[in-house]
Amino acid sequence: MEIGIDSFAAAPSRSDQSTAQAMNELLSRIELADQVGLDVFGLGEHYRKEFLDSASPMILAAAASRTKRIRLTSAVTVLSAADPVRVFQNFATLDLISNGRAEIVAGRGSFIESFPLFGLDFNDYDALFAEKLDLLLRIRDNEFVDWSGKFRPALHHQPVYPRPTQNSLPIWIGVGGTPASFVRAGTLGLPLMVAVIGGETYRFRPLIDLYRKAGEAAGHAPEKLKVGLHSLGYVAKTKEEAIADYYPGYAEMFTRIGKERGFPPVTKSRFDDQNGPLGALLVGDPEEIAEKILRHSEALGGISRFTFQMDAGIPHEKLSKAIEMIGAKVSPLVKQSHQVA
């Protein structure tokens, strides 16, 4: 099982920290993740003041020059709001810079700011994604592209360059809880990255079964139908320390987002429920978190990648310590138990 980190490149939350400093600290954490042996680092894509990841391929390219082994991916690329030609070119270039370590997690995103920003109709939310995914896959698999659709001018035997180092640039589908999205990923035979940020993780098993059944029905080999899990989490020496570090920022962030979406404010009791044995949060000491990752994997029928989303107003120094512990303790514990199983 691959273990990694996802980040939304949080903007500075303190008056004594500049935006440039926050970006440089993020790059330092990606470099550290590589040094401690983590497998993957992903960057989200948002168009909001509190995040710095609207041009994530540029950040990943900077990270590529400072790392040697870790895979570098989006988490996710908001494909509905992007030109698939440009997405492919950006990540093919990242692949060349990183010597074959680039990946794309394509999704629709959980915020809507990109639609008015790029002049798109939110009513076309799913149709845009489906059409653009089709074009992105066509470009990946063909140097010369013949394609036509509704939302973009047609391509007539048009070459798309550069081509990546990898023979087939990995493209995952990032999903939340929409059954049709799981079926689409399975039918296409694409690896699946499931974002579980609340509730009980095992409840996603029927959706993952839908994915695997759709893939099998479409003739894809089981080993091609990989499942990854993206969850909110944080690691410290003790569970009490981890909660003390993580909860204040988590509560502030999700209470603020909840106001936008009509959700009630976060409470400590609700947080504790979410951080319990079956809940989606993974906040605790290394041994407990390793065990919980393995339980989640078993509950979902086996996963091949797990990524921590740790952005919650936590200072750079503490995030760095968490990354060190994930690399030194959590990842080895998970991999040893996974190999035995």
Q: What are the backbone dihedrals phi and psi of residue 63, each rounded to the nearest 5 degrees, phi first?
A: -65, -35
CA atoms lying within 13 Å on the CB side of residue 294: 18
Confidence (pLDDT) at 324:
98
The structure tokens listed for 304 are: 């091949």
> Count of alpha carbons within 13 Å of 113, Cβ hemisphere only?
10
Specify whether the CB–CB gap between 97 and 64 falls below 8 A: yes
pLDDT given at position 340: 59
Q: Which residues of the chain have pLDDT under 50?
A: none
Quote the tokens at residue 249. 């920022």
Cβ–Cβ under 8 Å, residues 91 and 104: yes
Say what the pTM is.
0.95
Pair of tokens at residue 133: 């995914």
* CB neighbourhood size of 163 (10 A): 17
Question: In 3-state terms, what secondary structure has residue 7?
Answer: strand
pLDDT for the residue numbered 159:
98
Residues 278, 280, 285, 286, Cα dihedral to 10°: 100
- DSSP of 240-300, one letter per residue? HHHHHHHHHHHHHHHHHHHHHHTPPPP-HHHHHHHTSSSBS-EEE-HHHHHHHHHHHHHHT
Query: Which CATH number characterizes residue 12's domain?
Result: 3.20.20.30
pLDDT value for 244: 97
Of the candidates 66, 29, 59, 15, which has an alpha carbon nearest to the alpha carbon of residue 317?
Answer: 29
Contact criterion met (CB below 8 Å) for 229 and 201: yes
Count of the separate structural domains present in the chain:
1
pLDDT for the residue 339:
67
* 213: nearest Cα among 171, 185, 172, 174: 185
Structural domain of 10: 2-340
Q: What is the pLDDT of residue 278?
A: 93
Q: What are the tokens at 173?
A: 């589908």
163-203, pLDDT tens digit by residue? 999 999 999 999 988 999 999 999 999 999 999 998 999 99
Cβ-in-10-Å burial (0-12, 13-18, 19+) of 148 comes to: exposed
Instruction: Give per-residue burial for 265-296: e unless 16+ CB within 10 Å, then b.
Output: ebeeeebeebbeeebbbbbbbbebbbbbbbeb
Report pLDDT for 280.
Answer: 96
